[in-house]
Amino acid sequence: MHRTPTRRSPLPDSRTAAGRRRLVAGCVAVAAVLGLSACGTASGALQPTATASTPGASAPGATTPGATTPGATAQQPTGTAAATIAPTPGSDAAGPGRAAPPAGAEPRTPTAAATPGHAPATGTPVGTTPAGTPAAPPAQPGQATKVIGSTASGGRTVALTFDDGPGPATGQILDLLAQYHVKATFCEIGQNAAANPALVKRVLAEGHRLCDHSVHHPQPFEKLPHDKAVYEISAARDMIVKAGGPGTRVSWFRAPGGGFTADNEHIAAGLGMDSLGWSVDPRDWSRPGVAAIVSTVQSQLKPGGVILMHDGGGDRSQTVAALKQLLPWLVAQGYTFDFPAA
C-alpha cells in the first residue's frame, strides 16, 4: 500500500533562526520606546527591566538621539508591563501644560515653604523684633502712671516733705521751719493724726500743708487688694480732716514705701488727691548718721526737687540734727521753698 508521507508542522516562529531575528528586532524596538536596558525570552514572553533615565540621555537602542522626559509613561504593546519613571525630587520635570527644560539645563531648586513656628531662610529670625515694630503697649492696670516728683513752681525751688507723723519730733521740726520761714508738706499716718490732733492743727495754723500717708502704713502697699487700698487711703484722709478741723484740706496721697499703682492712684484721685513721690531720699528713717543724711541731700538735690524726710515712725533725732544743717545750706545755695506740684 502506498502511504502518503506525513507533513510535519512548521516550527514555531520563535524556534527558527529567522523567527529569532525578528523577535530580537521587535524587542529592540520596544526597548527604544520604553527606555528599557535589557530584553530576553522566557517561554516566549517579553521581560522588560525598568531603569532610571537621566534627563538629556538617549534611551538604549533608540535610533534617534533625544531625551526621555522624566515622568512620561510610554505607550506599550498589549501584554507588556507598564514602565513609569518617577521624577527625582527637586528635579524640574515637566507637568501638564508645562514644557520640559532644555537638555543640559541646570535644575531649579524648589522654594521651601516656611514651617509653622520657624522663620524662613531669609528675613527676620523668629524671636526678634523687626525695625519699625510699634513700641511696647502702655502700662497695664496695677502700674503707676503719674507720680509727682517736683515743685509747683520749678526753677531753683525745693519742697520739704515729712512722713509718718505726727510724732515726738514734729514739734521740733516745726520750730526749725518757723525759724527759717520755710513751708513744708506733712504726709501723716491716719491713726497718728487721730492721736495727735493738736499737732495737726498746728501744722495747718503755721501755713504748712497735709498729705495722706494711709491709716496703718502697710507694706508692700502695691500688693493690697482694691478694697483694702480703698480703706487705707479714704479712712486716713477722714482721720486727718477730723483732726485738723473744719476746712481741712488734704491735697496729696503718698503710698507707703512708694508703692504706687494705677489702682491706688485712681482711688486717691477720686478723693481729690494727687499722688506724691519724691526726687531726693536720704533714707533718714534708717538712721544712717547725720553726715550721711546731709551729704545725700546735697548730692541728690536738683532745682525743683522734692526731699523725703520723716517726723514720725521712730527716733528722728538724726533727722532734726540734719535739718539744722540743711536749712541754712539751702538758703545759702539760693533755694526758695515751695510745695509739691499739684
The pLDDT tens digits of the residues spanning 264-273 come to 999 999 999 9
- Give the three cell numbers for residue 9: 508542522
Contacts of 301 (CB under 8 A, 6+ apart): 158, 279, 280, 307
Q: Please write the tens of the pLDDT for every residue from 7-32.
A: 444 444 444 455 555 544 554 443 44
Which DSSP state fits 123?
S
Contacts of 240 (CB under 8 A, 6+ apart): 188, 190, 193, 200, 210, 212, 248, 250
Question: pTM to 2 decimals?
Answer: 0.60
Decide if 216 contacts 192 (C-beta within 8 A): no
- Of the chain, the end-to-end C-alpha distance in Å amounts to 151
Q: Supply the residues annotated as catalytic.
A: 163, 310
State how far the Cα of 308 lies from the Cα of 285, in Å rounded to an integer. 10
State how far the Cα of 105 lies from the Cα of 99, in Å rounded to an integer. 13
- 3 state SS of 134: coil
Indicate the pLDDT class of residue 183, thresholds 50, 70 and 90: very high
Indicate the pLDDT class of residue 39, thresholds 50, 70 and 90: very low
Return the closest-CA partner of residue 211 out of 190, 232, 181, 182. 190
The residue to which cell 515622568 is assigned: 71
The residue type of 152 is A
Return the closest-CA partner of residue 275 out of 143, 139, 109, 122. 143
Residue 65 has pLDDT above 70, yes or no: no
Q: Which residue has the higher pLDDT, 97 or 165?
A: 165
Greatest CA separation for the chain: 172
State how far the Cα of 9 lies from the Cα of 37, in Å rounded to an integer. 35
Q: Please write the tens of the pLDDT for every residue from 73-131.
A: 333 333 333 333 333 333 333 333 333 333 333 333 333 333 323 223 333 222 222 33
Q: Please write the tens of the pLDDT for every residue from 287-338.
A: 999 999 999 999 999 999 999 999 999 999 999 999 999 999 999 999 999 9
